[in-house]
């Protein structure tokens, strides 16, 4: 059984009930671990029912035996009293046997009116049971009053404050997740992820969205930081001899290809080196000047171009069409389906691997525990949060209780109505029949006592005379 795989967790979950008692919450129920009794529950109940029936029948047999024995004994006052007790005991036993049996079936199969009460009243029992559950357990006012009495937010905080309880929740989360991964079908999940991605992308107006993002990124001159970074990067690259040498070779190659005759008359290699060094020095000075002067005209030009780009992304028809074309390409590209497939495969593999790890090494379980600890701290510290949670739960109970009540009562009523009347009667007798046999036992004993009392009253003078009173 599942409980036996996690004995520490199941025991630790009970710790929260001890904490709850400190805030006045009484434990509503206890969950017992599976017993080691080899007999099924139905078989045990059937044996108990048969045993109690034998006891009740045995008492009736004793009373009947005493009655028959008194018929063959010489008459006397004592024998008359004993016979009266036996007669009354038999009457009580038979009357209560009839009453008990009449609940479940017709006694001796005879069509006696108002017998087989449970089978004949199955539909009425279904209606009354459903109405009882709705009125006594799912009434909104009852639920709200109970919630106010136990203060569920405070109870939850106390319960989550126990680390063992948080580990218990983590264990349940891991088992549910592992089971879900075993049975979930990959194809629908891939389709779901693909549809979700397409839905999200389809709702995005791509060009204005990019414009809005750029607007946020450039607000308060933040784009100038990007320009500064580019300037410093360019300066560092230009100071590298390898970069200047590469530029010089490219210029020399260009001269050889574009000006074949000129490069024969001038020292190309020397000249290109000198030109590149001079140009590099000029560019370095320009970049240094730009980086040191916030009011430099290049910065102003950069500001204008960025503002123009943002405005075009938001309003220019050409940009808007390009954004729509890019979105359509993404939505209908086969790579999207491949991406959803790979995304689900990676997610599933990561989850499966993580959930197989020990609790101290599982990120899912660690996050679950941290969430539980954080929630416990917040609920313990913040009274307004507890009050808000309680108010929300009360509102939820008031809203859902009628709907849940209608559903459950309808389900109970329909289910009971569909039961076979005979099977239902047998099941009820199996559950409470053993206890009902005490009615027969008590009827036998009480009947005998009443018989003796009536005999004493009816023969009081004879008993008085026999005792020497007259």
pLDDT in tens, 133-149: 888 777 888 888 888 88
Are 64 and 86 in contact by the 8 Å Cβ rule? The answer is yes
Confidence at residue 209, expressed as pLDDT on a 0 to 100 scale: 57
Q: Output the six-digit token pair for 401.
A: 């209780």
Tell me which of 405 and 23 has the higher pLDDT.
Answer: 405
Question: For tokens 């024998």, what's the residue?
Answer: 79
pLDDT tier for residue 6 given thresholds of 50, 70 and 90:
very low
Confidence at residue 22, expressed as pLDDT on a 0 to 100 scale: 43
Which residues make Cβ contacts (< 8 Å) with residue 162, sequence separation at least 6? 12, 15, 16, 19
Tell me which of 3 and 156 has the higher pLDDT.
Answer: 156
* Dihedral angle, C-alpha 181, 187, 190, 193, nearest 10 °: -90
**pLDDT digit string, tens, across residues 406-423:** 888 888 888 888 888 888
* 261-265, 382-386, 438-442, 452-456: least confident range: 261-265
* d(C-alpha 137, C-alpha 215), whole Å: 57
Q: Output the six-digit token pair for 209.
A: 């969205």
Q: How would you class 364 by CB atoms within 10 Å of its CB: exposed for 0-12, middle for 13-18, buried for 19 or more?
A: middle
- The number of CA neighbours under 13 Å toward the Cβ of 271 is 13
Tell me the pTM.
0.47
* 18-32, 113-127, 310-324: least confident range: 18-32
pLDDT beyond 70 at 327: no
pLDDT beyond 80 at 238: no
* 19-33, 287-301, 346-360, 387-401: least confident range: 19-33
pLDDT beyond 70 at 67: yes
* d(C-alpha 2, C-alpha 175), whole Å: 10
* d(C-alpha 201, C-alpha 195), whole Å: 10
**pLDDT digit string, tens, across residues 328-358:** 666 666 665 666 667 667 777 877 888 778 8
State the Rg of the chain over Cα: 45
- Coil/strand/helix, residue 459: coil
The domain segmentation of the chain, as residue ranges, is 2-28+40-167+387-466, 209-312
pLDDT beyond 50 at 59: yes
Are 105 and 428 in contact by the 8 Å Cβ rule? The answer is no
pLDDT beyond 70 at 236: yes
């Amino acid at each position: 059984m599942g409980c036996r795989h996690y004995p520490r967790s199941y025991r630790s979950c009970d710790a929260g009930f001890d904490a709850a008692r400190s805030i006045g919450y009484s434990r509503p129920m206890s969950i017992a671990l599976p017993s080691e009794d080899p007999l099924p529950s139905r078989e045990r109940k059937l044996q108990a029912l048969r045993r109690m029936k034998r006891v009740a029948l045995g008492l009736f047999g004793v009373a009947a035996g005493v009655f028959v024995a008194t018929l063959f004994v010489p008459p006397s006052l004592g024998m008359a009293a004993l016979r009266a007790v036996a007669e009354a005991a038999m009457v009580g036993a038979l009357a209560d046997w009839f009453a008990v049996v009449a609940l479940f079936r017709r006694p001796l199969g005879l069509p006696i009116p108002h017998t087989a009460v449970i089978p004949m009243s199955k539909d009425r029992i279904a209606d009354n049971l459903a109405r009882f559950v709705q009125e006594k357990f799912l009434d909104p006012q009852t639920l709200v009053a109970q919630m106010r009495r136990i203060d569920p937010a405070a109870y939850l905080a106390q319960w989550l404050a126990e680390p063992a309880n948080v580990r218990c929740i983590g264990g349940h989360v891991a088992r549910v997740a592992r089971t879900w991964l075993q049975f979930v079908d990959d194809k629908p999940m891939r389709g779901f992820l693909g549809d979700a991605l397409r839905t999200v992308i389809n709702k995005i107006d791509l060009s204005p969205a990019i414009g809005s993002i750029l607007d946020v990124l450039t607000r308060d001159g933040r784009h100038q930081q990007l320009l500064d970074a580019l300037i410093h990067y360019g300066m560092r690259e230009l100071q590298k001899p390898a970069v200047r040498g590469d530029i010089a070779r490219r210029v020399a190659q260009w001269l050889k290809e574009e000006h074949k005759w000129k490069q024969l008359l001038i020292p190309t290699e020397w000249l290109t080196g000198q030109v590149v060094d001079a140009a590099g020095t000029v560019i370095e000075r320009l970049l240094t000047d730009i980086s040191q002067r916030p009011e430099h005209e290049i910065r102003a030009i950069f500001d204008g171009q960025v503002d123009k780009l943002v405005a075009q992304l938001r309003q220019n028809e050409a940009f808007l069409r390009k954004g729509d074309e890019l979105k359509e390409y993404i939505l209908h590209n086969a790579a999207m389906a491949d991406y959803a497939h790979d995304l689900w495969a990676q997610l599933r593999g990561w989850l499966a691997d993580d959930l197989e790890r020990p609790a101290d090494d599982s990120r899912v379980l660690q996050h679950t525990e941290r969430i539980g600890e954080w929630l416990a701290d917040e609920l313990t510290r913040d009274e307004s949060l507890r009050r808000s949670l309680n108010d929300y739960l009360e509102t939820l109970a008031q809203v859902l209780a009628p709907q849940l009540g209608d559903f459950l009562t309808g389900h109970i009523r329909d289910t009971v109505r569909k039961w076979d009347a005979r099977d239902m009667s047998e099941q009820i007798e199996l559950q409470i029949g053993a206890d009902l046999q005490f009615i027969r036992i008590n009827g036998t004993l009480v009947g005998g006592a009443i018989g003796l009392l009536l005999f004493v009253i009816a023969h009081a003078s004879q008993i008085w005379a026999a005792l020497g009173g007259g």
